Amino acid sequence: MSELKPVDFYQKNMYGVWREGEDISYEILGEEPAATPSEDKPFNPFEVRGGIIVRITAATGSRKTAFTVHAYLPEAEDAKRYPNGSPFIICFHPIMPADFALKHGYALLVMESTRIASDDTAHRGAFYDLYPYGQNSEEQTGVLMAWAWGASKILDAVRGSLGHEFGLDPEASMVTGVSRWGKATAVCGAFDTRFRMTIPACSGAGGLALYSVVSEGNTYDFSRIGGPSAYTYGKNEPLDCLQSDAERGWFNDAFLQYKTPSDIPMDQENLVVMAMAPDRYYFVIAAYTKEDWVNAPAMWECCKRAASVYTAAGLSDRLAVHFHLEGHAVIEEDMDLIIRYFDHMYYGRDTGIGPDDLKTTLFAE
């Protein structure tokens, strides 16, 4: 098993089969009113409302399915920053700094991820309409991979004629998500090599946290950035939690064979390395504090391992890392750096920040 290539290992033993090659079409359905919270219906940060609604249809053989995506486009004046089309971020859920991104000329395409694949072991949704979950390994795709497929189908539509209709640069594509959707982001970037930049945030175990690294009980000094001088990490998410009834739907059945982290013959830096290419970029986000469960130090160790491969290939500037003090989210601080880094790398602009400014974290000290 250890001789498997990462692309085969992840499909056979963790995330399940990657699917592609469907016939993709779309229909622009019009604008939807934004969410209006009330006392009876408080604000839900993961509810996707507003934007221009687009129905994406995917067909293969005799099967067909559809799902919707919400497009948020920058105002014409802000879009002028990119005369050849706006860069765009495909998001697995709404992100906090959406207005910041739009004001800087970046478009957002937000998917309703649980309509693509239910977040459980029922394996329902648009993906499973086309590819029902079966008993054999060749018929099994976990939810993380299914969500990644959804982002890939949106990119198919943009690279068709949707990008032209919305004034997007089809080549300036990014994908992001937080937590379980950070895991899906890492999977998406590894298997769809067309994404220009992959931005997994706070992805934790099953994402970019190394299975082999435990930070429970370790103490770190975050005082230099306004945090505590002695922050001790509590419990990390264990392997048996990923294999519980609540989370095992994210993976295929073969993943249940591993009883301890040491049983897993390949660790998670390979997801980052699979996304390595001269024309692609990787931007890892995490938080220092209140991220005990998702094991932020293990994500830093993952970045270190991947960075050695990027450096050996002469691509060290294609991998960026930023840890903010607190927040299980993509926050405005992150978005500012994402935009400045991407504008520098892809457009060649002097943004006051480059790859050398996004290389290390306090965990390295």
> Got the DSSP string for 329-352?
S--HHHHHHHHHHHHHHHH----S
What CA–CA distances, in Å, run from 107 to 34, 185, 288? 16, 18, 28
Q: Tell me if 192 is assigned to some domain.
A: yes
Q: Tell me if 351 is assigned to some domain.
A: yes
Structural domain containing residue 221: 6-364
Q: E-strand spans in the chain?
A: 23-31, 52-60, 63-72, 86-91, 107-111, 168-178, 197-201, 219-220, 231-232, 281-289, 319-326
Cα 346 to Cα 342: distance, rounded to the nearest angstrom: 6
Count: domains in the chain? 1
Q: Tell me if 1 is assigned to some domain.
A: no
Q: Tell me if 128 is assigned to some domain.
A: yes
Give per-residue pLDDT as tens, 66-117.
999 999 999 999 999 999 999 999 999 999 999 999 999 999 999 999 999 9
325, two tokens: 């003090």
Q: Tell me if 109 is assigned to some domain.
A: yes
What are the average pLDDT values for consecutive 10-residue runs of the chain, which has 365 residues?
83 98 97 70 72 97 96 98 97 97 98 97 98 96 98 98 98 98 98 98 98 96 95 97 97 97 96 98 97 96 96 97 96 97 97 87 76
CB 16 within 8 A of CB 127: no
**Residue 304 belongs to a domain with what CATH number?**
3.40.50.1820
Give per-residue pLDDT as tens, 210-248.
999 999 999 999 999 999 999 999 999 999 999 999 999
Closest listed residue to residue 206, CA positions, set 184, 232, 230: 184
Q: Tell me if 203 is assigned to some domain.
A: yes
Q: Tell me if 120 is assigned to some domain.
A: yes
